[in-house]
Amino acid sequence: MPEDFDDLSDEEQQEIISELEGLAKRELNLSAIVGKSAEAKERRLVPEVIEDFFTQAAPIAGIHPKEMRENGHIYKLGGVPRRLWSVGERLEPRFGKLGREYRNIVFDTEHLKRDATLEWVTPGHPLFEAGREDVTEHVREDLLRGAVFFNLHQSQPCRLDVFAASIKDGRGNQLHRRRFVVQANPSPVGTGESGRRPGEDSGAEGMTIREPTIFLDLALAPKETQVPDGDGRPDRTAAERFLIAAALNPFLAEVTAQRSGEVATITRHKEISLTELIHRQNLRMAELHEQGQGGDETVLAANMKRVEDKRDELNGRLERRTAERRHEAECMIGDIQHVGRAWVLLHPERTSPRIAPMVRDEEIERVAIRQAIAHEETRGWRVESVEADNRGFDPISRKPHPEDPKTATIS
């Protein structure tokens, strides 16, 4: 590289600056990366659930996957419907280009080990996302009208309100988007129509936050199933207020803390790189002053003007980047969308001799979890109970890294 940075072309200078900025973005905390990866793994749906959703929902979007052999889990697809092309183009910046045709698709990476030519379709794949977007539009009114489910394991009916909400930075960029479920239970005895006792906070009575995976534990009820009336449960506005207080504000605080750390790292490196470039322009200006004694004043003035303009441009860039980073560190709750509502009723056969043995026994569950936690802790693993989160499992077991206690392996 030339000793004088100013001898480089503008394109070469910008390339070096971009490399420095890239280094800043890559300076991330290993524990945070592993922790986020672990959290994503914990929340990830199993391939069977993804396959079941896609094969049942795809025909609504005009996609008709055909299983090549029974229980083979490999599907022949063919051409993508023309109506999805515009959807794919709209989603392309986020998920990549939607193909016009897909030959054979699978939903589990295990199949790729035997045949690498198969197309792995999963959330984030352009075909999956285009199909999901189109299906969502087709069923939006049905979602808003609501649905009715049965649950074997609950002792009283409840209502579920599904919301989608985002966290954005000060420049309007969406950082995270997540779905939440607010469960409203029957009003306690002694409450009025509002669902709360005198002096209690409106909206929080009888409500809890649930993971969207709660629907995996439910069975769809027949169309003619009757549902209770309002039953004093909080309305949608109260559910949204509860969502903000109980879930979105803590989510916002978590994202803000993470974002502040990332922005601070990037800002520090960008300041270092741009300050160094400004310093070199100052040195160049000093050299021109020294060389100008007895030289051509016209050439000297032109060179000094060029260096001064470059220095002003770098100072302006530093100020703009500092302001941009400041806005990027400012996080706020973005749009909150009410996706739909569902009633969950007691399964009508939960007490029948055939079904009763399948109903969960809470005491047996507690004993089993205590035993599992004790076993994991005796082998040096950290255990966290997530029974209330509906993640599809009760405890998470993590093995701390011997050199970094914040980093762990999940079991």
Residues of the chain with CATH 3.30.360: 47-137
- Give percent of the chain above pLDDT 70: 74
Max mean pLDDT range (227-231, 232-236, 320-324): 320-324
Res. 202: pLDDT tops 80: no
Which pLDDT score is estimated for 358?
Answer: 63
What pLDDT, on a 0 to 100 scale, did the predictor assign at position 172? 87
Does residue 255 carry a pLDDT above 80?
yes
Asked if residue 348 lies in contact with residue 171, where contact means CB atoms within 8 angstroms, the answer is: no
Looking at residue 274, its pLDDT comes to 81
Rounded Cα gap, residues 21 and 15, in angstroms = 10
pLDDT value of position 286: 86
Q: What letters, b where the CB count within 10 A reaches 16 and e where it falls short, cover 277-308?
A: bbebbeebeeebeeeeeeeeeeeeeebeeebe
**Predicted confidence (pLDDT) per residue in 339-395, tens digit:** 989 999 988 877 677 666 666 656 666 777 777 788 877 887 877 776 655 554 557
> Has residue 119 got a pLDDT over 80?
yes
pLDDT at 328: 84
Structure-model confidence comparison of residues 166 and 304, the more confident one = 166
201 versus 108: which is more confidently predicted?
108
- Quick one: pLDDT at residue 34? 47
pLDDT at position 88, please?
95
* pLDDT for 192: 40
Q: Does the pTM of the predicted model rise above 0.85?
A: no
Which pLDDT score, from 0 to 100, does residue 275 have?
Answer: 84
Q: What is the pLDDT of residue 372?
A: 79
User: Would the pLDDT of 142 be above 80?
Assistant: yes
- Per-residue confidence band for 319, with pLDDT thresholds at 50, 70 and 90: confident
pLDDT of residue 31: 47
pLDDT level of residue 200 (50, 70, 90 thresholds): very low
pLDDT at 402: 61
pLDDT at 404: 52
pLDDT band at residue 223 using 50, 70 and 90 as cut-offs: confident
Per-residue pLDDT at 203 exceeds 50 = no
**pLDDT score of 189 more than 70:** no
**pLDDT value for 403:** 54
Q: For the domain 47-137, what is the CATH code?
A: 3.30.360
Give tens-digit pLDDT for 18-32: 655 555 555 444 444
Q: Give long-range contacts, CB 8 A cutoff, 24+ apart: 378-384.
A: 381/411, 382/408
Average pLDDT over residues 197-221: 72
Q: Average per-residue pLDDT in the chain?
A: 79
Cα separations in angstroms, 103 against 75, 100, 110, 117, 132 = 8, 10, 18, 9, 19
Higher pLDDT, 332 or 193: 332
